[in-house]
Amino acid sequence: MSESSTGQSNGTHEANGAALPQYTAKDFTTDQEVRWCPGCGDYAVLAAVRKALPDLAIRKEDYVFVSGIGCAARFPYYMETYGMHSVHGRSLAVATGVKVANPGMKVCVVSGDGDLLSIGVGHTVHTMRRNVDLSIILLNNRIYGLTKGQYSPTSEQGKVTASTPVGSVDFPLNPIAIAAAADCGFIARAIDVDLKRLDPVLKRALNHRGTSFVEVYQDCNIFNHKAWFYASQKHTMPEHTVWCEHGKPLVFGADNNKGIRLNDSHPEVIELGGEFSAADCLVHDETDRNLVSIYARMNHPDFPEPMGVLYADPSRPTYEELVHRQVEQQVEGKGEPDDGDLQALITGHESWTVE
């Protein structure tokens, strides 16, 4: 890993009793030329992350950005923090090692749907179930962009690409459903161009204790342009997305004239103003694990797609806390074998010496 400290600071703020520099987005900007295609949604996400970090009471020397392979894998080069560009599908394995070895670091993985949900899907699931204290930002453009436009695990059925010339027969993976099934402690979704709402989601994710997962709808304007236009454009967003705020009813539409209610545990779109009102709508509770599974089933075009923080539970112990606690117990002689003897622990009771 490497890190340089050329950014300028202006003022200080307090964190854990220590004075820290008051950063700006410029402090997290490297001298590297950003080399994504003009118009790529990655630019917006990079800007949002750089904007979010100064508001967190964390030294920039305590950040580590890790990536795998793909267009999004360039991310660490553009962040003036520690960073590592790892191998295909193994970004979360590397990030877990970084966090366990350096529990005081704030670790963030930025990668694409191909890297995290194809060759790396096993690591994604196991990171979530272990509750490693790191943030996962999935840039989902529903295509393999770096390798020139093959279909990805999130591509819709029937997708015509270079690798599926007559259309894909695969059913797409649902990232939110996977996160819910893996018992992830923080699950959110946002859109690359909606910076006003993306910024607070990223801040919450980075502040979360445990694994946080943010799916970002990101446009690949070269190989899969307009994949998310139904959710990202000003004239379509109000009708095809619903913003989830804790304690507020799920109301949507250009005139806020539609809502979501539960009918025998199934989501249902209702028209407001006649038979139904906002009081009949489902009220978002980000602490209710059952709701995120319902939200995962709400997909375009039948439903508006839920956005925002869908679930948050910071109460579970983190993976690295449990690992270090276990090590400490052995060193203190509270477990078996006694006296913190590493070789005795490795040898165990079921071994013998051959003369």
pLDDT of residue 346: 75
Q: Is the preceding peptide bond at 337 cis, omega within 30 degrees of 0?
A: yes
Distance between CA atoms of residues 201 and 72, nearest Å: 19
Phi, psi of 150 (to 5 degrees): -85, 160
Three-point CA angle 101, 68, 145, nearest 5°:
165
Residue 336 lies in a domain: no
Instruction: Judge contact between 52 and 60, C-beta under 8 A.
Output: no
Q: Which two tokens stand for residue 320?
A: 């690295």
The closest alpha carbon to 242, from 228, 260, 227, 221, belongs to 260
Residue 179 CB neighbour total at 10 angstroms: 29
Residue 163 lies in a domain: yes
266-271: strand order across its sheet: 251-252, 258-263, 266-271
Distance between CA atoms of residues 79 and 267, nearest Å: 41
The string of pLDDT tens digits covering residues 70-90 is: 999 999 999 999 999 999 999
Say what the pTM is: 0.90
Instruction: Judge contact between 210 and 318, C-beta under 8 A.
Output: yes
Residue 108 lies in a domain: yes
Q: CATH no. for residue 127? A: 3.40.50.970
The domain tally of the chain equals 1
- Per-10-residue mean pLDDT of the chain, 355 residues long, equals 38 59 95 95 96 94 96 96 95 97 97 96 97 98 94 96 96 97 98 95 97 97 96 96 98 97 95 95 97 96 98 96 89 60 74 82
Q: SS3 of 269, please? A: strand
Residue 124 lies in a domain: yes
Distance between CA atoms of residues 13 and 24, nearest Å: 12
Q: SS3 of 306, please? A: strand
Residue 285 lies in a domain: no
Residue 102 lies in a domain: yes
Helix (H) or strand (E) holding 187: strand 186-191
Q: Which two tokens stand for residue 29?
A: 């900007």
Residue 338 lies in a domain: no
The string of pLDDT tens digits covering residues 292-327 is: 999 999 999 999 999 999 999 999 999 999 999 988
Domain that holds residue 102: 12-227
Q: Which two tokens stand for residue 244?
A: 């989830």
Distance between CA atoms of residues 42 and 77, nearest Å: 13
Instruction: Judge contact between 115 and 89, C-beta under 8 A.
Output: yes
Distance between CA atoms of residues 15 and 28, nearest Å: 18
The string of pLDDT tens digits covering residues 129-163 is: 999 999 999 999 999 999 999 999 999 999 999 99
Distance between CA atoms of residues 225 and 34, nearest Å: 20
The closest alpha carbon to 64, from 109, 34, 25, belongs to 109
Residue 293 lies in a domain: no
